[in-house]
Structure 1
Amino acid sequence: MNFFMPKSRYIKVLIGVAGLTLWGSLLGHAAEPPRKDAVVEAVGRVLPSVVNIATKTRVQRVRYYYDWWRDNWAPYAQELPPQESAGSGVIVDPSGYVLTNVHVVKDADEIWVKISNNPGEAKMYRAEAIAGSLATDIALLKIIPERAGEVFATANFAENDDLLLGETVLALGNPFGLGGSVSRGILSSKSRRADSDGNKLDIPDWLQTDASINPGNSGGPLINLDGEIIGINVAVLREGQGIGFAIPIKRVNESLGRLFTPEFLNGIWFGATIQPDSIPLTIRSVEPNSPADRAGIFEGDKIETINGHAPRNFIEFSNRLINLESNRTVSLQLRRNSEKIACEVKLVPESDYFNADLIRKKTGATLEELTPDLAQALGYNSTDGLVVSKVDDSSPADEAGLTTGIVVLAIDGQNVSNIVGAARQVYRREKDQQLKLEVVQMRRNGLFLRRRTGQLTLRLR
């Protein structure tokens, strides 16, 4: 019996096996929908959370008419048709918190959010503006649900610096309420300038993409192929061809961490900042002598529960902190390394600590907020700034040349318009450190008022 196969037949068998393998592979691929690629899947995950935002702003025009009965000119207000605008947004918490651009909702009297979860179906909700910053062009809205416990589809954030130059990105929006819109491009440039607190964002701060960002897409998300938000669409450069921009998610997190706090919204002092992108939520910093500091909270502590509830994200944690009962006491369960720590924080009004007494203690100057009557008495045509009402003898303020009646416009380059803000600026400086004040003084010379501006430097005590 011949146990050896002829060479020609052996080759034919090998070719047959290879052909069957290739055919099976093709059949396997044919079973997978060739059109449902990573782009389609990412869009499918995120688009239900993308909303249209419509606003109405009532406008009045003041004119004058001659009143024959009173024999003088009198004003009247004419109601004009409301101005309407539209943009997009993205839901980032199941309870209905929406991120968008400030310029989409600025000065709006009414805000409506339109959600198109299913093709051909849309639902309108009223919404309210919670917080916003012109410097970052980020606004946080809250959908007013129709029933208690109503939840909404959400999108997730990417990690702060999870950006790859040249990767495929998708600009999503819901322009003019017509339904979901998708444009595709690449990430052309990352943020190119270091963060400068308090400065207005400009093109160097933004992500750049060639994905089309139409005006109605402002406020919508820019996502990667994992279906994560890497930025918020903000603008298109008209002078350029196919150049769009988005606010990086790192900047969005920083803005949320400043805006959605009891200090910013309610003037209530907690005293600890949270990393919005951390899971579990992590304490980023603690202000000395703050309620958080006195409760024994340290930088790096992980938040496990707030009043017995494990927060799913920064927004839910802050929402619970902002909406405390009247006693303003919160119980936190923390983890420090491997140790569990329970603490109670009693929040207090910021003005109890950051007040005129703190400023006087460190500078020797007593400042007051400018009222319209006080500004008029000084011959000052604005209520911006704080007026010096008293200066202690031989104090740092006295040695720097501050006198009563001078108006302080800015401290260390930051405009000040209230005592709490000014006291916070002073609080951040240690003894013997210097403060730079931008000031203005009105001097009367006969019938005329002379305005003098300048800078003063004083050393804190």
Structure 2
Amino acid sequence: LPAVQLGDSEAVRVGQFAFAIGAPFRLDYTFTYGVISGKGRNKLIATGGYSISDYLQTDASINPGNSGGPLCDIDGKVVGMNTLINGLNRGLGFAIPINLANEIGQQLIAGQRIIRPWLGIRIETLGEDQSLRDLFKGLDKGVVVRTIEADAPAYKSDLRPFDVITHVDGAPVNTDTQLQREVLKKKIGQNVDLTVWRKGQTLKIPITAGELPGEIGRASNVQPPAPQKPEEMDNKFGLQVQDLTKEVAARLKLNVEQGVIVTDVAENSVAATQDIEREDVITEVDGKPIQNAAALREALTKADPRKGVLLYLDRKGSKTFAVLKPASS
């Protein structure tokens, strides 16, 4: 049988003609056409690990059953593999670039296992969350470390949540997509040197790239503590907390034994909008270790209404942060 020719997805330009072939709703050899609407689309699927950051977008009609079919250019060369849609008949279809699909296919044909390098961090582009802007004075570009996964390569380094990564091995990174691309160029076990901005200082932090695990997640099968004397951080934040005791830490299998544990978060509160969860352990406030609920209350009371207060959290071994601002600000 004649084989279809592969094109170059890197050379694809927005606005050029494209057509899709597939079997939507079991209707074999369905042919639809449109244009390439965009390139480099990302964050289409929520995931804590590796995600394809360069989907091709097309308005060629794609429906359930098209997945795995070719997206071709006007010369009939395959430039993508149809994969995702956003609703039916919206003209929002997405395809994996053929260069990436071909690279993976060649590895599978050779009997190789597909592995990806991984640092174990959840990130976002600086400026994506406007509420954090005032906390990064003097810095215009970079990638904010939102969370460090438990036992990940980054967890074993000096990297911290709220750090801003500006360079990877000397190469500047301005967006989370650029950072992911730089990491994907590395090999498992290779040393990755990060240039990091932390509260006005520039640091060099080495991390050894690990292998992306098949599943990243966390779950608690233990009931949250029954608060003996919960302390409510008044209604403007919507938090209830209690001092973390060694007994509670042992019962919940926590890796920390000092701090303040969240026992409840009010719906639609400031804390809820910052994704603070029950069983989170607040370990630091504005970079200073927190010992008890009374100290936390005092810090929140003194918080600058414009900047808010920076909380460092331990979440079942993962490290993350939240910034609380009074609702009135």
The question of a shared fold, defined as TM-score above 0.5 by the shorter chain, is answered with no
Query: TM-score under structure 1 normalisation?
Result: 0.27
Q: Could you say which structure has the greater relative contact order, defined with CA pairs below 8 angstroms and 6 or more residues apart? A: 2
The structure in which a higher percent of residues are strand is: 1
The structure in which a higher percent of residues are helix is: 1
